Structure 1
């Protein structure tokens, strides 16, 4: 089994998360605007409808895992598998991956591990999560500036939620695009159409979200009260 040395600690692969709470919302955005945001990666967005791409905003409380406990926020886009072309029907969309554009965290160890092992675009930020109330809330600040304040209202239980189809996550760092095999097991999953509210601040990422057309109604919001995850080795694309 491969292992890596991070800050004097040995981290084995795959990296496992044994318990996390995950809240996310998917937004329809203009495909041309999303393409402009991720052009540096060499990847192309997946169009779920003609001219429409998907931007995902997610916040996570990692409660038990190989990279310790920490909070994380993510901004990501649904993307085509590298090398694919032509229209994407429902079957092709199932092959789509997730390109992680921005991934602030609030702890140094996971910051270095995420960058070193997979090329994740992790940065240190102030991430306040309020998960005990009926609304799940994330207040994200970076460099003393508000990025966003996000509320998610849990919806109806998803029957039979368990092992989800493995996903390919894509990253780009130091001129290299990588694919990361990522699997999730979910307990306590709930879904609500719409279900999310966001207030944008004055940080450059807030401006980027505004240029994508946010805030707007989400396609749907998802909450997972207990998630287990596994992250494999990164492969250069």
Structure 2
């Protein structure tokens, strides 16, 4: 069960989450791929977003993150995303799959930020030179409902805008298994058992960055279910990375027949990446996501992070 308790605070599984939340201990590996714009448009169908192209090519992103203890728990995460343009031409990253190894972060992520989290089992190994991961769907488990919440005027306007650009919500709902958005849809192959999704190894680049790197990642998100069903949200995640290595590291990706694997194949993730970035340390913040409205403006003013927020959460290393 997830609901808003008061402005900036959510109740998920009877636990309070106050925004912004701070990531204090994580490490990550990311690979960037070229993709066909037409294939990317197919992956984005129904979102109201379009691919952001560079030199005529769309951009796909594959990420593996291991989180140490924080407010959403301790877990592993695999991200598949597309660089996009939203209303007003605003650029950002839209995640199309975000399987995680914890049910609490799955439900919180879907309810608060409309992130496409679903439950996986994963074997993750992270070293200075490479990151490897094997992903399977988690066995089917009881899902925690995400009840509709009362919408404000901004949500309603955004939902109306979204409806003019996408299929009807009932069509979206019938296609949640193909889109990978529905809670529990990632769980289980035939008979409710685990289904192989992917096996990947991302090599670290040769260039070592000797200083911390600060990055602000703009994000677009939308889900057909949950408290903000059908509402296109805009947010941002400021992060601070240390132990960064980058370059055109090698990647090896093996895919199964799961819908997430199909999206990865469409986004060119079986080819050599354009760029790999690894970080032995990641700290950051995730705050309020606001509803996008016609004309590219957003309801609210933080664009996802608290004004002046420091992803260090106090500046301690």
Query: Same fold by TM (over 0.5)?
Result: yes
For residues 67 and 219 of structure 1, the distance between their equivalents in structure 2, rounded to whole angstroms, comes to 32
Q: How does 1:99-110 map to 2 (within 5 A)?
A: 99-110=94-105
Contact 2:115/2:222 (<8 A) preserved:
yes
For residues 37 and 81 of structure 1, the distance between their equivalents in structure 2, rounded to whole angstroms, comes to 15
CA offsets 1:73-107 (integer angstroms, 9 cap, x no match) = 111011124222xxxxxxxxxx6210011111111
Q: Which residue pairs with 1:198 in the alignment? A: 253
**Max Rg structure:** 2
1:77 to 66, 74, 82: 82
Q: Which residue pairs with 1:226 in the alignment? A: 281
Q: How does 1:1-237 map to 2 (within 5 A)?
A: 2-50=8-56, 52-84=57-89, 96-132=91-127, 134-142=129-137, 143=188, 144-155=194-205, 156-164=207-215, 166-174=216-224, 175-237=230-292
Cα root mean square deviation, aligned: 1.6
CA offsets 1:105-142 (integer angstroms, 9 cap, x no match) = 11111011101110001100112111147421011112
SS in 2 for 1:33: helix
- Unmatched 5+ residue regions in structure 1? 85-94
For residues 269 and 213 of structure 2, the distance between their equivalents in structure 1, rounded to whole angstroms, comes to 31
For residues 76 and 223 of structure 2, the distance between their equivalents in structure 1, rounded to whole angstroms, comes to 21
For residues 213 and 121 of structure 1, the distance between their equivalents in structure 2, rounded to whole angstroms, comes to 20
Contact 1:167/1:182 (<8 A) preserved:
yes
Q: TM-score, normalised by structure 1?
A: 0.90
For residues 249 and 243 of structure 2, the distance between their equivalents in structure 1, rounded to whole angstroms, comes to 19
Q: Which residue pairs with 2:227 in the alignment? A: none
Q: Which residue pairs with 2:143 in the alignment? A: none
For residues 160 and 82 of structure 1, the distance between their equivalents in structure 2, rounded to whole angstroms, comes to 35
For residues 167 and 133 of structure 1, the distance between their equivalents in structure 2, rounded to whole angstroms, comes to 24
Q: Which residue pairs with 2:169 in the alignment? A: none
- Unmatched 5+ residue regions in structure 2? 1-6, 138-187, 189-193, 225-229, 293-317
Give the aligned length: 225
For residues 209 and 63 of structure 1, the distance between their equivalents in structure 2, rounded to whole angstroms, comes to 27
Q: Which residue pairs with 2:168 in the alignment? A: none
More strand by share: 1
